[in-house]
Amino acid sequence: MKNEICYILIGKRIGRLWFGRLVRKTTGTASSVEFDWEWVLRREEEKGDVLGFWHTHTVEGTPSDRDVDTMVAWVDCFYKPLLCIIQDSFRKQGFSVMHAEVKRT
């Protein structure tokens, strides 16, 4: 992967299961990617179905400090658990973020 890619995850959560789809693809640089945060806020306010974010890393697929800080801020904003899915060249990893803690899913 040359540049990072990001999608917004929307859908619903039923118990421990998350059912979602990827929308609003954004392509960034080799070391970061930004998304339309205003759209995410509107979507959550209108539909309440934002589940989290899926993005790539060009090197290792573990959350960076920036990823953790960003996810904690979104959890605080929406006051609900969110998913952070990260894909590198070899694998995908999922992390649930709830109330300022990150748990591998």
Give the CATH number for residue 25. 3.40.140.10
- Give the pLDDT confidence of 57-90 residue by residue, as tens digits: 877 767 778 878 888 888 988 989 999 888 887 7
Distance CA 60, CA 87 (A): 8
The pLDDT assigned to 105 comes to: 53
> Is residue 1 scored above 70 in pLDDT?
no
pLDDT above 90 covers a percentage of the chain that reads 31
User: Cα–Cα distances in Å, from 69 out to 53, 73, 89, 91?
Assistant: 13, 6, 23, 22
Find the domain containing 31 and state its range.
5-104
Number of domains in the chain: 1
The pLDDT assigned to 29 comes to: 75
Residue bearing the bigger pLDDT, 8 or 105: 8
